[in-house]
Amino acid sequence: MKLEGNTPLTFDLFGNEPLQSQAAVEQIGPCSWVLRGFALPWVQPMLPAVQAVLAQAPFRHMVTPGGFTMSAALSSCGSVGWTTDRHGYRYSAVDPQTGQPWPAMPQVLMELACAAASETGFPDFIPDACLINRYLPGAKMSLHQDKDEQDLQWPVVSVSLGISAVFLFGGLERKDKARRVALQHGDIVVWGGVDRLRYHGILPIKPAEHPLLGEQRINLTFRKAM
Ligand code: SIN
Ligand code: FE2
């Protein structure tokens, strides 16, 4: 799917009313934005699509090269998925847990990622990987850079669903002060360009109940990996 530069944010999904978003935009870096509530119109068709992915590639807790088990549970869809084990971080076409290719990226997810990227000046972004992180209360993501992708000209598009989180958005060095950005259900963060390698993470999730998703936060992170 190719979206032209000035394409309005309308998509004819399943022949129904086109989805569109009029999100409030907050700039958090020279090339980084939070699109408040941008994903909300997509949530209804997105949840069954994510469930279908998870039926094929269930959540699992991966181990880092340093031997730590990640507190967020992870899955992926797309032509490649991100994995980690004692040997390192990498993208793989096969889910190491099932030995099968990762589930294809559902069209509704692709459309949402493309719409958000387009809104922030990346109209040609076509992700090939969508990481799905599940945070139960107490789970966190330590400060890290997304740098396992081959071509860093493409942004990271990160969709938050479920209970809220505090996103840490640091600088290009680990020691740089990180700003705290509260992320709610439906918010999207996009970072690219000069901000592409900024450190980021998630503070331990506080217990809460979301009307649709219960006591969990789901994060979908789209990248062009290969
Ligand atoms: C990540 O950096 O992979 C996830 C960020 C998030 O959960 O918002
Ligand atoms: Fe990340």
- Condensed to tens digits (0 to 9), the pLDDT of residues 72-127 reads 999 999 999 999 999 999 999 999 999 999 999 999 999 999 999 999 999 999 99
pLDDT in tens, 180-218: 999 999 999 999 999 999 999 999 999 999 999 999 999
Q: Which of 133, 189, 199 to mutate to test the pocket of ligand 1 (most atoms within 8 A of CB)?
A: 133
Tell me how far the alpha carbon of residue 169 lies from the centroid of ligand 2, in angstroms. 10
Would you state the CATH architecture of domain 24-223?
Sandwich (2.60)
Query: From its phi and psi, is residue 156 left (phi > 0), alpha (psi between -120 and 50) or beta?
Result: beta
Band (pLDDT 50/70/90 cuts) for residue 22 is confident
Strands 217-223 and 129-135, bridge-based pairing: antiparallel
- In this structure, the residues whose C-beta lies within 6 A of any atom of ligand 1 are 133, 141, 158, 167, 200, 202, 219, 221
For the chain, the structural domain boundaries read 24-223
Nearest ligand (C-alpha, residue 74): 1
Identity at 185, one-letter amino acid code? H
